[in-house]
Chains A and B, each alone.
Chain A
Amino acid sequence: MEKQFSPEKKNSQVIVVTSGKGGVGKTTTTANVGTGLAKLGKKVCLIDTDIGLRNLDVVMGLENRIVYNLVDVVEGNCRVKQALIRDKRHPGLYLMPSAQTRDKSSVSPGQMVKVIEHLKEQFDYIILDCPAGIEQGFQNAIAGADRALVVTTPEVSAIRDADRIIGLLEANGFKQMDLIINRLRMDMVRRGDMMSAQDVVDILAIPLIGIVPDDESVVVATNQGEPLVGSSSPAGQAYANVVLRVEGKEVPYLNFDKGISFWTRVTGIFHKA
């Protein structure tokens, strides 16, 4: 296989974004963290490993540009470079889409490792969007990764699944696992109707790397196919901070209470009663 970009060996990081439970925000997180890193000038490759149910292309707004996919690469129908879609909005950002008409058994963990080893020569970050569940798709996604972002929401079912995933990652030799708490609603936490970020961290006992508030603009951004990282919306700012922490920078956590007026607080007290 030929080298496309810089000939020197990069010190690249391979990060898997996983959660166990579906619908907690793995794909949104992958898209935003990847885009955010590209905005910082990094060379980033996103890989959708959810074979049969691809989503990352849609969230990134790149669905119309797919020619080849991950399964084509693995089966030798095309070269790695041919399957990579360049995101024209952000230099250095590429997507390797998944196959929609195949199933998880089309790719093996060994084949994933091979593809990633090849991509490592060209990228600073390779971010894998893991499918829900703990079966073959999960095994494929974690095979080549050396670091994990575990996404959860402050709900019993999502936390339970995240705990199981953390156990499996530990059993697979992962040393660096960081937690992203997604869709936190401060108003509900204040009422005592939602676990706080601290509660979730206490239970799962892995380092926290981000708290993303429940934010309508995430839906809007997904509608438009443009990740919102770096925008002025609360989720956009939260993701921008996650990106900096992934890069190893220390960033204080945002205070999502800011937008709440005194009046809302007062009426909130009465709602409780």
Chain B
Amino acid sequence: MRHFFRRKSSCQVAKDRLKILLISDRVNCSPEIMEQIKLDIAKVISKYMKIDADNMEIQINAKGNKSGRGGKMPSLYANIPIVDVTGQDLAFKQ
């Protein structure tokens, strides 16, 4: 019984999987392009602070505002670990 209550229903699992699946389907963005976007973002941010480009991740999800069909507008989400915040003068050097 306890085991049952803890487990997510398969319906919920299906909904969660579909949400992610349909966003990538609708955006129609290839992994190569995503990688290119990631590299370009890293390049720009590196101008201003020291980041850990190897551990940064980007993804497209539905956190944005309402759009026509499918409820939410997809948005680009980037997680960029900063190694050194104090290196502000880095910007002036480049």
Whole-angstrom distance between the alpha carbons of A156 and B25 in the complex?
13
Closest CB-CB distance, A246 to chain B, in whole Å?
A: 21
Q: What are 10 residue pairs bridging A and B, where the CB atoms are less than 8 Å apart in the complex?
A: A156-B14, A156-B21, A160-B25, A189-B11, A192-B9, A192-B12, A194-B11, A195-B11, A203-B70, A272-B4
Contacts of B1 in A (CB 8 A): 273
Contacts of A167 in B (CB 8 A): 26
A193 within 8 A of B: yes
Q: Which of A175-209 contact B (CB under 8 A)?
A: 189, 191-196, 199, 202-206
Whole-angstrom distance between the alpha carbons of A205 and B15 in the complex?
14
Whole-angstrom distance between the alpha carbons of A159 and B11 in the complex?
13
Most buried by A among B9, B11, B17: B11
Contacts of B39 in A (CB 8 A): none
Describe B's contact surface by its main secondary structure. Answer: helix
Residue positions of B touching A, CB distance < 8 A: 1, 4, 9-12, 14-15, 17-19, 21-22, 25-26, 69-71
Contacts of A202 in B (CB 8 A): 71
Closest CB-CB distance, B4 to chain A, in whole Å?
A: 6
Contacts of B26 in A (CB 8 A): 163, 167
Closest CB-CB distance, A23 to chain B, in whole Å?
A: 18
A170 within 8 A of B: yes
Contacts of B18 in A (CB 8 A): 156, 159-160, 203
A: number of interface residues (CB 8 Å): 24
Whole-angstrom distance between the alpha carbons of A212 and B1 in the complex?
33
Closest CB-CB distance, B67 to chain A, in whole Å?
A: 10
Contacts of A155 in B (CB 8 A): 14
Contacts of A189 in B (CB 8 A): 11
Residue positions of A touching B, CB distance < 8 A: 155-156, 159-160, 163-164, 166-167, 170, 189, 191-196, 199, 202-206, 272-273
Known: A156-B17, A194-B11, A195-B11. A203 touches B69 (CB 8 A): no
Contacts of B70 in A (CB 8 A): 163, 203-205
- Contact: B11 with A163, CB < 8 Å? no
Closest CB-CB distance, A271 to chain B, in whole Å?
A: 11
Contacts of A160 in B (CB 8 A): 18, 21-22, 25
Contacts of B17 in A (CB 8 A): 156
Complex A-B, nearest 3 residue pairs according to Cβ-Cβ distance, in ascending order: A192-B9, A205-B69, A192-B11
Closest CB-CB distance, A63 to chain B, in whole Å?
A: 37
- Contact: A163 with B71, CB < 8 Å? no
Whole-angstrom distance between the alpha carbons of A163 and B21 in the complex?
10
- Contact: A205 with B4, CB < 8 Å? no
Closest CB-CB distance, A199 to chain B, in whole Å?
A: 6
- Contact: B11 with A164, CB < 8 Å? no
Known: A156-B17, A206-B69. A192 touches B25 (CB 8 A): no
Of A163, A166, A193, which is within 8 A of B10 by CB? A193
Whole-angstrom distance between the alpha carbons of A205 and B69 in the complex?
6
Given contacts A159-B18, A163-B25, 17 further A-B contacts (CB under 8 A): A156-B18, A156-B21, A160-B25, A163-B22, A163-B70, A164-B25, A192-B9, A192-B10, A192-B11, A193-B10, A195-B11, A195-B15, A196-B11, A203-B15, A203-B70, A205-B71, A272-B4
